[in-house]
Amino acid sequence: MAVARLAVDPAFVVGDLDRRVFGSFVEHMGRCVYTGIYEPDHPTADEDGFRTDVLDLVRELGVTVVRYPGGNFVSNYAWEDGVGPKDGRPRRLDLAWRAIETNQFGTDEFAAWARKAGVEPMWAVNLGTRGVTEAIELLQYVNGEPGTDIADRRVANGSEKPYDIKLWCLGNELDGPWQIGHKTADEYARLAEETARAMRRVDPDLELVACGSSNRKMPTFASWERTVLERTYDVVDHISLHAYYEPKDGDTASFLAVAEDMDRFIRSVVATADHVGAVKQSDKKITLSFDEWNVWYQGRFPGESGLKVREASPLIEDVYDVTDAVVVGSLLITLLRHADRVKIANQAQLVNVIAPILTEPGGTAWRQTIFHPFALTSKYAGSRVLRTEVTGPVVETDAFGNVPALWSTATYDEESGEVALFVVNRSETDEIECEIPLGALEAALGPLHLVEHVGLYDDDRSAVNGPEHPDRVVPKRIDGTRITDGTCVATLPAASWHLVRLSPGGNS
C-alpha cells in the first residue's frame, strides 16, 4: 500500500477559524423556500408555516449564517412585495428563474426563520434593477429603531425590535450577462460604492460584501475584482467568490481534485485584493466571502430560458452520490486552509436546490450524502486552523496536472484542547496509509489519544440517499486506526473523506 506522511505542528497557525465559513444559502428558487423551509400545510409546520423537520436538520447540519434572498433572484426582487398582510401580497413574475413568486414568504418571515434556526442572516440587496434608495429603505426596514415611517412599517407588521442584521451583500453576480441588470465593472463599482456609503450612513457597523466574479472562468475575472476594489476598498469589508463543480466528460480524477481550482481561485482573489491595497498604500486587508460554492451538475440544467413559468416547481434538485460528498469535504478543507482570508462561505443552497437536505412536499425530509462532511466539519473544526504538509503519492489529472493524493487541514480547539484532522484521499484507485507523527503536537499539548476516526466512502461510489433509504450513505467509524510510537496511522480507502479526532490525555 502507498504511504503518505502528514505533518502538523501547533506552531504553524493559518488563522483563527471564523465559524461563518459554515454558511448556507436560501434563494427564492425552485423549492428552496416553498415546500423547502416553508410549507404551512405540512404536518410538521409550526405556527409560522416553517417545516420543523427541516429546521431540525438545519440545526444538525451546523449552519452558522444563511444568505438570502438570492442569488439571481435578488436582482429583480422588490422586497416590499414580501411584507405586510399575506393576502395583500402580489404574485409576480420572477425573471431570474421564470417562476411565479407568490411573496407569501419574505423579509419578516426569513428573519423569524433565521432566529428559529439559530443562524445569522446575511442579506443581499438588489443592485440589478434597483439601487441606493431600495437598499437603504430595506436596511431601515430591518434595522431601524421605531419612529421613522419605514421602521414603523416593520413594527406594524409585528416586529417592534429591529432585526439588527449586520452582514450585507451589495448585489449578486453582476458581472454575469445572465443577471437581470448585468453591469460592467465600472458601472457596478460606482453603484456599489454609492450604495455602501449610503448604507453606512444608516448603520456604520455593517459588514459589506462587494460582488467579485461569478466564477474564475469569467472573461473579466481579476480585472473585475481590481476595478471594483479600486473604487470600494475603503467602504467594503469582503469581496465575493462563487464556484460550482461537476465532473467533466466522465473525468473523475479531475473532479476529485477540484479543490485545486478553489485553492487557485482564492489565491488569485487574495493577490488581486492585496495588489489594490498595495497601490492604495492601505493597511486594510479585504477578506473573502465565498458566498456560493458546491457541486452542481450544471450540464443537466436546461438554462433559464428553457424553463416553463410555474410556481415553486423543482429546479436543479441534484441527487448527490458518494464521490460528490468526498468532493464537498475537500472543498470545505480548502476553505479552512485559507482561514486567514476566507471569513464567510455559503454552501449553495440549503434545501432542495443543489442542497444537503431534500424534502417531499407534504412528506419526509432527508440528508443527502453531502450533508455528512459538512455537519462533521462544522461540529468538530476547532477555533484555530493549523497548516498541514503532506509528502507521499500524487495523482495525475487532466485538469490540474499532478496533485498530492491527500488533501488535508487540521484544527486545534483552544477550549477543549482537541485536534481535528480532515483528510481526503483523492486517488480514484489507491488505498493510502497515512502516517501522522504526533511529536510536535504532543510537545506542545501533552500526550494525545485517538477519540475517533470516521470516514465517508463506499464500495459503490454511485450510492445515494433517498426517501426510502435516507441512511444508505452515512459516515463509518474506522476501527483500525492506531497510535504507535508517537505516530497515528490510518488507512484511507480510495476516494474517501476522513475526520480524525485527537484529544489530550492518555492512550487509546
Q: Compute the residue count for the chain.
A: 508
Are 58 and 358 in contact by the 8 Å Cβ rule? The answer is no
Q: Is 70 in the site for ligand AHR (CB under 6 A)?
A: yes
Shortest distance, position 127 Cβ to ligand AHR, whole Å: 13
Interaction between residue 349 and ligand AHR (CB under 6 A): yes
Given its phi and psi angles, is residue 487 left (phi above 0), alpha (psi -120 to 50 degrees) or beta? beta
397 lines the binding site for ligand AHR (CB under 6 A): no
Give least dist CB 172 to ligand AHR, A: 5
Stretch of 8-16, 67-75, 106-114, 377-385 lying at the interface with ligand AHR (CB under 6 A): 67-75
Under the binding rule (CB under 6 A), the answer on residue 318 touching ligand AHR is: no
72 binds ligand AHR (CB under 6 A): yes
- Of 480, 427, 435, 421, the residue nearest 457 (C-alpha): 427
Binding mask 2-41 for ligand AHR (x = CB under 6 A): -------------------------x--------------
Choose, by CB under 6 A, the member of 209, 348, 490, 499 that binds ligand AHR: 348
- Does the annotation mark 145 as catalytic? no
Which of the ranges 70-78, 81-89, 317-325, 356-364 carries the binding residues for ligand AHR, by CB under 6 A? Answer: 70-78
| Residue with cell string 502516517 | 435
Find the part of the chain contacting ligand AHR (CB under 6 A) among 69-77, 118-126, 367-375, 495-503.
69-77
Residues 432-471 interacting with ligand AHR (rule: CB under 6 A)? none
In the complex, the smallest distance separating the C-beta of residue 86 from ligand AHR, rounded to whole angstroms, is 25
Please work out, in degrees rounded to the nearest 5, the angle formed at the alpha carbon of residue 218 by the alpha carbons of 185 and 169: 55
Query: Are 305 and 271 a contacting pair, CB within 8 Å?
Result: no
Candidate residues 109, 173, 175, 203; the one interacting with ligand AHR per rule CB under 6 A: 173
Which among 367, 364, 212 is positioned nearest to 291, based on CA atoms?
Answer: 212
Site for ligand AHR (CB under 6 A): how many residues?
10
Considering the candidates 109, 260, 292, 418, report the single residue annotated as catalytic.
Answer: 292
Which residue is nearest to ligand AHR, using beta carbons? 71
- Catalytic-residue membership of 414: no
- Considering 173, 194, 225, 418, which one is annotated as catalytic? 173
Question: Of the candidates 23, 30, 69, 71, which one interacts with ligand AHR according to CB under 6 A?
Answer: 71
Query: Taking CB under 6 A as the criterion, which residues in 193-222 touch ligand AHR?
Result: 214
- Quick one: DSSP state of residue 38? B
According to CB under 6 A, which residues from 280 to 299 bind ligand AHR?
A: 292
Residues with Cβ within 8 Å of residue 133, at least 6 apart in sequence? none
Cβ neighbours of residue 352 under 8 Å, at least 6 residues apart? 30, 31, 32, 35, 36, 314, 317, 358, 359
Of 102, 140, 172, 232, the one binding ligand AHR by CB under 6 A: 172
Alpha carbon of 159 to those of 106, 125, 151: distances in Å? 14, 21, 9
What element of type H or E holds 92? Answer: strand 92-94
Q: Are 335 and 290 spatial neighbours (Cβ–Cβ below 8 Å)? A: yes
**Would you state the cell numbers that stand for residue 391, as one nine-digit string?**
509528502
> Which residue has 425590535 as its cell numbers?
161
Active site residue ranges: 173, 292
Binding residues for ligand AHR, rule: CB under 6 A, are 27, 70-72, 172-173, 214, 292, 348-349
